Amino acid sequence: MKAEYPEIVNSARLCNGPHALNFSYGDKRFREEVEAGDPSFLEMFSFPPDHGRFNQSTFNKYDFQVTGVLAELLHNSILQFDFLVPIEFLTELWHFPKLLTRWSDFSFTTYTPLQNNASFKEVSRKIAGRIQEGDEGFEGDAFLWSFTKLYLHGLGTGRRRMAIMRMLFLIAVFILLIACINFMNLTFFDLDYYRPK
| Tens digits of pLDDT across the chain (197 residues) | 888 899 999 988 888 877 788 888 888 888 888 888 888 888 888 776 665 554 544 463 567 788 888 888 888 777 888 888 888 888 877 777 777 877 777 778 888 899 988 888 898 888 888 887 877 777 777 778 888 877 777 665 556 777 888 899 999 999 999 999 888 877 766 555 556 66
Based on the domain organization, do 64 and 32 belong to the same domain? yes
What's the number of domains the chain is made of? 2
Q: Are 118 and 22 contained in the same domain?
A: yes
Q: Is 6 among the domain residues?
A: no
User: 38 lies in a domain?
Assistant: yes
Does residue 3 sit within a domain? Answer: no
pTM of model > 0.75: no
Within-domain flag for 2: no
Q: E strand or H helix at 170, and its extent?
A: helix 157-194
Q: Is 187 within a domain?
A: yes
Are 113 and 173 in the same domain? no
Please tell me the predicted confidence (pLDDT) of residue 152.
Answer: 75
Whether 52 is in a domain gets the answer yes
What per-residue confidence (pLDDT) applies to 56? 44
**Residue 64 and residue 137 share a domain:** yes
Q: Which range of residues forms the domain containing residue 118?
A: 12-144
Strands 83-86 and 28-37: parallel
Does a structural domain hold residue 123? yes
Q: Do the domain assignments include residue 5?
A: no
> Do residues 17 and 48 share a domain?
yes
Give yes or no: residues 79 and 169 share one domain: no
Is residue 69 located within the same domain as residue 102? yes
Element (H, E) at 37: strand 28-37
Per-residue pLDDT, 58? 40
Q: Are residues 162 and 72 in the same domain?
A: no
Q: Are residues 28 and 93 in the same domain?
A: yes
Question: What is the CA 116 to chain-centroid distance, rounded?
Answer: 22
Do 22 and 108 lie in a common domain?
yes
**What pLDDT, on the 0 to 100 scale, is given for residue 171?**
96
Which of 106, 124, 144 is the last residue in one of the domains? 144
Please indicate, yes or no, whether residues 23 and 109 belong to a single structural domain of this protein.
yes
Neighbouring-strand partners of residue 83: 34
- In angstroms, the CA 37 to CA 54 distance is 13
Q: What is the DSSP letter of 77?
A: -
Residue 159: its pLDDT value, please?
61
Q: What angle do CA 98, 101, 105 make, to 5 degrees?
A: 85
* 103 and 159 inside one domain: no
